[in-house]
Structure 1
Amino acid sequence: MPNYTDILLQQDERSGFIRAQRAPLGAAGGRSEAWLRDLLIENPDILPISEVDSSFAPLVPLCTELHTEAGPIDAAFINPGGRLTFVECKLWRNPEARRKVIAQILDYARAVSKWDYADLQRRVASATGQKKNIPFEASRQIQPDLDEAAFVDATALALQEGRFLLLIAGDGIREGVSGITELITRNAALGFNFGLIEVALYEFGENGLVVQPRVVAKTHTIERNFWLVRQGDRALVQDDEDEASEESPSSNALHEEELWWEPLTKIKFDDPEQESPVYRPRNHVRVQMPLSGIWITAFRAMSYGICGVFLGGNKSVRPQVLDALNQERTQILAELPAGTHEGMDGTAQRPGFSVYAKLNDFESDDECREWLISQLNRFVNAFRPRLKEMSKQ
């Protein structure tokens, strides 16, 4: 990527070149996070959306400080197709600050995914002080023949499915981006896309300021499901991104499930770097591992009367990962709970790792949750260090 030595300015053919000086964001220079937020909402075209996901373009500004149950979103945009983009403007400081800002924008997305169109219209009106259908009216400025009913329906569907583009914009975010996949993919219950945008500023003395936004990282979150497969006396858990759920649960059922799993989303692992589990429909939580595409799942299979924990992953990476882990299988099994056996592929050539218990063996939901927490912690302790090393190779 270019730095200040790469950017030159020549005012005319007779004058020499002026070398740019990098101008970092920060309150000391008068260019705070709020300054960046206002810059982006007033000049949405400078955000390189097409490099992240062109289906969210063109950006139509809605408002700043869009209030949600999780806090205010710095800047909100929509497009004529009803797709929403949320931008959080932050300085990229230490790893803890990075985790917090990523968790923050994900919380915003989860909150907005519970809205309907009327909620969105009301919140935008409140943020702008304009009592009208701003999402539609603003989008119609870009596409004059836009049909209001079709736009409202498309937006409502995007809200329901959590189809958002989440962007973090700031300065100095090129360092330490390798760990964002773990933070993002562990929150894949929504259908969002995510991007990091570095907004680099360059000064030419008294001759002005250059703003250069560029994509640092992006990820497309894929919805995945898991299911239980009976093979004789064995119950094998499979987890895959290619299969669809057999049924669409009601919102009430999903809400009850999410409440059941809520205590597990707040647990702290022995490993201080491990993020807490994230609830995912249906009836499971996922703990993302340091190696992209690999995770640990805790689940309840009500129709089979069992619960359990297993190591899961994408088809594209799990065979190689299992082959590597199985070279240490004896040692790993000694670190895992008693009764851990094969899972995922469930083949003699490539066994996985899973542990199960019968739901009726527990006297209460709390006892069941405590058992799952204990197994998750053991799995994290066994697999996270090994997968972290693999991610460096």
Structure 2
Amino acid sequence: MPAYGNILLRENENGAFTTARRAPLGFADGRDEAWLRDLLVGNPDLLPIEEIDASFAPLVSLCTELQTEAGPVDAAFISSSGRLTLVECKLWRNPEARRKVIAQILDYARAVSQWSYADLQRRVAAATGRKGNVPFEAVRELQPDLDEAAFVDATARALREGRFLLLIAGDGIREGISGMTELITRNAALGFSFGLVEVALYEFGEQGLLVQPRVVARTDTIERTFVQVGGEGGRLEEVTADAEGETESGSLSDERAWWEPLTRITFDDPEQEPPSYRVRNHVRVPLPYPGVWLTAFRYMADGICGVFLAGKKSEMAQVLDRLNEEREEILGELPNGTDYRYGDDPTHPGFASYARLADFASDDACREWLGQELNCFVNAFRPRLKAMAR
């Protein structure tokens, strides 16, 4: 990402330049997250929506602290086409804060996608203290000829389809941007767009404050696909990238419930993202090398469970060759040692750890062991793969 220098202001044609010094956001000077939120809501044109997704422009401020089932959204905006923009304002302090705000805004999007237009109208009215069709009235101030019925229908459709723009605005968000956008992409189940906006402040002494928002990352719109189950008139079920071609019903729902506690674990490494559930009884942990990850699984037919380093065939041979140069050192960092990957070709020794399901007194004990193994594997492989990726 590019760095930016100071800004110079020439007061007149023959005058000297005044240097504007960068003034980072921070709690000490009163420019905290609430200050940033109110600044954006009061000046929606500050957000560079055209650079992220023009279909959400122009922005009309709806409210602050929009209450959802997942918590309050810092700021909510809407367009004349009925598309919502949800904004979280954050001052970055550590990698944990980055992951938490991404998980947070995704939870907001999932919650709002369950709303009807009446739900939106009621929540905005509660947040603003105004009565009536507040979203429509807010947009009509910008577009007086707006048709109310058409606007309500368009907004209801956008809610149903999850057509949101999710923005995280703050400072210090340049570090780890690629990992943040990858996390958004992997966890997406709605048709939303996403952007990271750095809000740069410059002080001109007594002359005032300059605010310069910059788009530092954005994703393409992430589509969701539906299939019809049960023939004509049957229900619609969502299919995401995790489904790998299967719809989730019956035993697959039971599988997801079994793995759910593991998707909430935290690792020693503060930058490591949590596991994500995959069908066919396993979870996957992303690693900082393209096409390589960790898998934790249960194989009921053979009565085993385990953790192993996995990836695309096109990547794994080269990765394993380089890792095996440090094999003895790596084995020393894995308390339970390791085996070749289950069923793998021993010409490229892999890294895996296995246990018998019968050895665990309960499902909780099995999940605890898998979580401990995943943590050890992350500690051993993440820094090595990160260095290899450079």
Decide: shared fold, TM above 0.5: yes
C-alpha distance in structure 2 between counterparts of 1:95 and 1:247, whole Å: 34
The yes-or-no answer on 1:325 pairing with 2:327 is: no
Cα separation, 1, equivalents of 2:146 and 2:310: 48
- Alignment map for 1:1-393 (pairs within 5 Å): 1=2, 3=4, 5=6, 7-139=7-139, 141-142=142-143, 144-145=146-147, 146-158=150-162, 163-175=163-175, 177=177, 179-181=179-181, 184=184, 187-188=187-188, 192-220=192-220, 245-249=244-248, 258-269=256-267, 271=269, 273-279=271-277, 284-291=282-289, 294-298=292-296, 309=307, 311=309, 319-320=314-315, 322-329=317-324, 331=327, 337-338=338-339, 340-341=341-342, 365-366=363-364, 368-370=366-368, 372-373=370-371, 375-377=373-375, 379-391=377-389, 393=390
The answer as to whether partners of 1:85 and 1:166 remain within 8 angstroms in 2 is: yes
Assess if the C-alpha contact under 8 Å between 1:189 and 1:281 holds in 2: no
The alignment partner of 1:276 has SS state of coil
- Residue 36 of structure 1 and its aligned partner are, at CA, apart by 1.3
The SS at the match of 2:318 is helix
**1:1-32 deviations in Å (ceiling 9; x for gaps):** 56453x22234435333222223323443433
Amino acid at match of 1:289: L
TM-score (norm 1): 0.72
Displacement after TM superposition at 1:95 (Å): 3.8
SS at match of 1:90: strand
Structure 1 residues 138, 176: CA separation in 2 closer, same or farther (over 3 Å shift)? same
In the aligned structure 1, how far is the partner of 2:126 from the partner of 2:91? Answer: 27
Distance 1:43 1:390, change over 3 A: same
Q: Secondary structure at the match of 2:132?
A: coil
SS in 1 for 2:91: coil
- Aligned-partner Cα distance in 1 for 2:265–2:202: 44
Supply the distance in 1 between the matched residues of 2:279 and 2:135 (Cα, whole angstroms). Answer: 29
Relative to structure 1, is the Cα distance of residues 320 and 40 closer, same or farther in structure 2, using a 3 angstrom cutoff?
same
Report the AA paired with residue 108 of structure 1. Y
CA distance in 2, matches of 1:3, 1:303: 58
> 1:280 & 1:85 partners in 2: Cα distance?
29
Q: What secondary structure, in the 3-state scheme, does the structure 1 residue paired with 2:50 have?
A: helix
CA–CA distance in structure 1, aligned partners of residues 315 and 117 of structure 2 = 45
Distance 1:242 1:97 in 2: 26
Preserved contact between residue 340 and residue 353 of structure 1 (Cα < 8 Å): yes
Identity %: 64
CA distance in 2 between counterparts of 1:254 and 1:113 reads 23
Q: Letter of the 1:290 partner, please give it.
A: P
Residue 37 of structure 1 deviates from its aligned partner by: 0.8
Query: In 1, Cα distance between the equivalents of 2:135 and 2:317?
Result: 48
Determine if contact 1:261/1:285 at 8 Å carries over to the other structure. Answer: yes
Looking at structure 1, the residues matched to 278 and 22 of structure 2 have their Cα atoms a distance apart, in angstroms, of 43
The separation in 2 between residues aligned to 1:305 and 1:133, in whole angstroms, is 58
| Alignment CA distance shift 1:18-1:321 (3 Å) | farther
Range moving further from structure 2, 271-280 or 327-336: 327-336
Question: 2-side partners of 1:287 and 1:186: how far apart?
Answer: 11
Aligned residues: 365
Task: Work out the CA distance in 2 between the residues paired with 1:265 and 1:322.
Answer: 28
SS in 1 for 2:210: strand
Matching residue of 1:230: none
Question: Could you tell me how far 1:213 is from its partner in structure 2?
Answer: 0.4
Partner-residue secondary structure (3-state), 2:53? helix
Give the superposed CA RMSD: 4.3
What is the rounded CA distance, in whole Å, between the counterparts of 1:246 and 1:352 in structure 2?
A: 28
Residue 214 (structure 1) shift: 0.3
Cα deviation for residue 270 of structure 1 reads 5.5
Residue 20 of structure 1: SS of its match in structure 2? strand
Native 8 Å contact 1:291 1:388 kept in 2: yes
Counterpart contact for 1:322–1:351, Cα < 8 Å: no
- Tell me if the contact between 1:167 and 1:196 (Cα under 8 Å) persists in the aligned partners: yes
Q: Is the 8 A contact 1:189 1:280 kept in 2?
A: no
The answer on whether the counterparts of 2:171 and 2:199 sit within 8 Å (CA) in structure 1 is yes
Q: Which runs of 5+ in 1 are unaligned?
A: 226-240
Q: How much has 1:123 moved relative to structure 2? A: 2.1
Q: Following TM superposition, by how much is the alpha carbon of 1:199 offset from its aligned partner in structure 2, in angstroms? A: 0.9
Deviates more, 1:62-71 or 1:47-56: 47-56
**Structure 1's 223 and 381: CA in aligned 2 closer, same or farther, altered over 3 A?**
farther
Query: Secondary structure of the equivalent of 1:173?
Result: coil
Describe the shift of the 1:157–1:365 C-alpha distance in structure 2 as closer, same or farther (beyond 3 A). Answer: same
Letter in 2 for 1:38: D
Distance 1:157 1:362, change over 3 A: farther
